[in-house]
Amino acid sequence: MNLWVKRTGQLFLAALFLMACEDESVFLGFKGNSKFTVKYQEFLVGDGAVVGIDPELTDNATGSRRLLVGEHDDPIVGNIRTEAFAEFLPVLTSKLAQKEDHTYVYDSITIQLRLDGYSYGLTNANYASGKFTIRRITDTEPLNIREEYHPIPGTDKEVLVNVSKRYYSNSTVSYADEAESLGETRFAQIFMFDGEERHTTTSITRETLEQSDTLVIRARLDDDFGLELFNVALDNYNEELSDFTKFRARFKGLALIPDGCNTVLGLDPANTFSLIKLYYHSELSGEVADTLTHDFGFSGVGFHNINPSRTTDLPPAEPTYIAGEATGSLRVIQAGYPMVTKIDLTNFYEEFADEITEKNLIINSAELIIESVNTTGEYNPLSVLELRLMEEDNSFKDYRTLEQSVRDSLGQFFVFTDLRNYFVSSDLSAQSTTRVAGSLLYNSTNKNYTGSITLFVQNLFENKNSQHKLLYLGLYPGTSITGINTMLPTGKTLDRTVFMKENIKLKVHFTQPNNSNL
């Protein structure tokens, strides 16, 4: 940490001599008539290709319960299709038959899911269209756990244990055929709640989706399914209602499968408006005594998968860490089933670090800039991009696979690791006990990204002769490691950032002594 304190002190010393100047080349640094010269240089760093990487977690254990469902043809990225899967569990575990002298009769069953305001591919000029069908999950195991054999230490025996399952962008489960679907709901049939009154709207645009917080999709479900659920809940026979393990064994959950959609919508299964509602009534002496309902919520496991079919100049989803065609200028970063853009620092070394022999050079400021971000089609650019270290072969630098000598060498740089990935440290990390990843923030007014990495670049210059000098960075969809705690998990959004490679630059202001003896 002493190195960073020393470096911060040097930067502070340089700041004492700052002056305003119209010429950008002397925007920062010492006075022009002093023993020092202030200079400015920028470097193109966009020659690295677009790289497809590992699928992201999409289940609700990520901290976000959002489910994505739908399909969209993105003119730049290609087609993306998402399917959602969710357990449902009884809100109350008491049996339906509360009065012994009453007869209870099944009536109907419906599903209702609240939209959370997110969309991918929806604009104010088009309406959400298409539908999704609702199918039963048919896997033999429940979504929440799987059984694994684990060795017993000190013996040659194994024990069968339950392990929590995790789900990723490429995960899926078995579900019923379309012919056996329980129902369907169309994106045009959206219900809007206003107090206790329900209204139907058939023109869901991006504007109405974002402005209303009580939009739901609804469907009538198959009566055979409803009757099966009713019979389980009626007397709680064999505790199939009150014991969630037994309930999950019988009802694995529901699959939401898109059909003919032009957009992907976000669902909020944790909301109180999201539920399965069982309608029934009681009779006494042949007359209807009460009309009743019993609710089932989506408090269990839920996840979605993401199936991209990317355009030919972008990397395929499988296999991962394969670069797209680097012959073009298009650069993309996308969340969900992520793509990253690789930054190549070769020009920084060849045009700057390797050309300067003075040791007492001070980097006054270093910024990564992405200009002229593509906003055609009302797609949301990612709000934050984070900087991770990459290898020449397009993989991320992985702490777990590195030899100790390489780990020690990386300790010279202004980076940190979570014991898996390596991250560029933010300038803020020098004054904090908590390391924060370097990041670029999006400015929607200027349609650009900027990120300060002054201490990191100063450190690159100082270690330019290192055997393990850093050449490649990855622009990754921003996560909470950037210090912005409101970031959604990467697997819960499909937002993407698009720009041309000539529009990403490293801009460096530095102070250099006029006398090499200084």
Q: For residues 110 and 279, give the distance between their C-alpha atoms in angstroms, rounded to a whole number.
A: 8
**Region of poorest pLDDT, from 134-143, 205-214, 418-427, 506-515:** 205-214
* Contact residues for 348 (Cβ-Cβ < 8 A; gap 6+): 43, 45, 457, 460, 506, 508
Rg for the chain, CA atoms, rounded: 29
What is the mean predicted confidence (pLDDT) over 331-338? 97
pLDDT for res 325: 62
Structure tokens, 296: 């089932």
Q: For residues 173 and 460, give the distance between their C-alpha atoms in angstroms, rounded to a whole number.
A: 47
Q: What are phi and psi of 60, to 5 degrees?
A: -75, -5
Given a contact cutoff of 8 angstroms between Cβ atoms, the answer to whether 125 and 282 are in contact is no
Q: What is the pLDDT of residues 71-110, one digit of tens each?
A: 999 999 999 999 999 999 999 999 998 888 999 999 999 9
Burial per residue of 469-485, b for 16 or more beta-carbon CB atoms within 10 angstroms, e otherwise: ebbbbbbbbbbbbbbbe
Q: For residues 320 and 245, give the distance between their C-alpha atoms in angstroms, rounded to a whole number.
A: 36
Which is it for the CA torsion 21, 356, 14, 5, positive or negative?
A: positive
What is the mean predicted confidence (pLDDT) over 418-438? 88
pLDDT beyond 60 at 231: yes
Taking alpha carbons only, the member of 52, 72, 67, 64 closest to residue 378 is: 72
What's the mean pLDDT when you consider all of the chain? 89
Beta strands in 422-463 (DSSP E): 422-424, 439-443, 448-452
pLDDT beyond 50 at 20: no
What is the mean predicted confidence (pLDDT) over 264-287? 94
Cis peptide before 269 (omega within 30 of 0): no
Given a contact cutoff of 8 angstroms between Cβ atoms, the answer to whether 256 and 264 are in contact is no
Q: What is the DSSP letter of 380?
A: P
Cα separation values, 460 from 45, 159, 457, Å: 15, 51, 5
pLDDT for res 21: 39
Angle, CA of 27, 30 and 33, to the nearest 5°: 110
pLDDT beyond 80 at 373: yes
Q: What is the pLDDT of residues 118-166, one digit of tens each?
A: 999 998 888 889 999 999 999 999 998 777 777 888 888 887 777 789 9
pLDDT for res 201: 65
Structure tokens, 196: 């206790």
pLDDT for res 518: 53
Query: Mean pLDDT highest for which of 193-202, 272-281, 422-431?
Result: 272-281
Q: Environment class of residue 410 by beta-carbon count within 10 Å: exposed (0-12), middle (13-18) or buried (19+)?
A: buried
3-class DSSP assignment, residue 373: coil
- The pTM for the full model equals 0.88
pLDDT beyond 60 at 370: yes
pLDDT for res 429: 78
